[in-house]
Amino acid sequence: MQHVEIKIVDRVATLVMDRSHVCNALDSQLIIDLNQAFSDVHQEKRVDSIVITGKGDHFCSGVDLKAFAEVTELEPMDAQVEWFEAWRDLTELCENILRFPKPVVAAIDGPAIGAGLALALASDLIVMSDRASMTANAAARGLIGGLTAPLLSFRFGAAIAARMLLTGMPVDAEEAHRLGMCCEVVPSSQVWIAANAWAKRCGGAPRESLQATKRILNESIGEALLTNLATGAAIGATVCCTESAAEGIRAFIEKRTPQWP
């Protein structure tokens, strides 16, 4: 794996996203590596639970718009195929985390933005550092939070989802804790220790009961979630084909204010 490091300590596997030079933005290779990492620890008998985190100053800044910018230059039919494949890969990653039989704790140290926030929301528990934040700002880029929308609504309700998705305003760690969006807020230097402690608390139960509990939460109670993720991905890919999306991506790369068509 090029961009994910696995560390196993006391029956907890930590998956570290390592593209810190681009704020751990998700490109196709990082998505492949994350899926492979989850597959590896799934089979690992020494692992009872998982912590996912990012190296550097960001948890994950979302999709790598620079990596996907070339898609906006393709012919419409070719671009549509590329966008649908990209959204399919992101959706499969989130579903893999939701269906993963072992507890997953997201340790957010720094911003979790867009698809990066979706990774955290697909996890079972969230621990944040005092410099962490959650942002769903796809609409401001001419895009749509096709995965963050159903996950936010499922985890925390439609009111919080609407506020975050429509305004794009970040939620800092203190407010997230007040709203029940994370288990604990700790100093940056302690975020892995705290997440590891929560992972151990979850991993202490028998595997069969943990797996059954996750199925109840994420597949039975959350039955509509999986359907909504697929729908959100389809809508998201369609919106990516618009002129507004192309302008939003170009403006981000060129570091300027978008000029919407």
pLDDT in tens, 218-244: 888 888 999 999 999 999 999 998 999
* Measured CA angle at 29 (ends 219, 8), to 5 deg: 65
What does the pLDDT average to over 13-18?
Answer: 98
Q: Report how far Cα 150 is from the mean position of its chain's Cα atoms.
A: 12
Specify the number of domains making up the chain: 1
Residue 193 resides in a domain:
no
Residue 79 resides in a domain:
yes
What does the pLDDT average to over 8-27?
Answer: 96
For the cut 90, the answer to whether the pLDDT of residue 85 exceeds it is yes
Q: What is the pLDDT of residue 74?
A: 81
Residue 77 resides in a domain:
yes
For the cut 90, the answer to whether the pLDDT of residue 94 exceeds it is yes
Higher pLDDT, 67 or 54: 54
Residue 103 resides in a domain:
yes
Residue 17 resides in a domain:
yes
Domain hosting 70: range is: 4-188+206-254
For residue 113, name the pLDDT band (cuts at 50, 70, 90).
very high
Q: What is the pLDDT of residue 209?
A: 92
Residue 72 resides in a domain:
yes
What does the pLDDT average to over 53-75?
Answer: 90
Q: What is the pLDDT of residue 251?
A: 93
Q: Are 61 and 113 in contact (CB under 8 A)?
A: yes
What does the pLDDT average to over 148-159?
Answer: 96
Residue 236 resides in a domain:
yes
Residue 197 resides in a domain:
no
pLDDT digits (tens, 9 = 90+) for 161-218: 999 999 999 999 999 999 999 999 999 999 999 999 999 999 888 889 999 999 899 8
What CATH number does residue 130 fall under? Answer: 3.90.226.10
Q: What is the pTM of this model?
A: 0.94
Q: What is the pLDDT of residue 205?
A: 86
For the cut 90, the answer to whether the pLDDT of residue 66 exceeds it is no
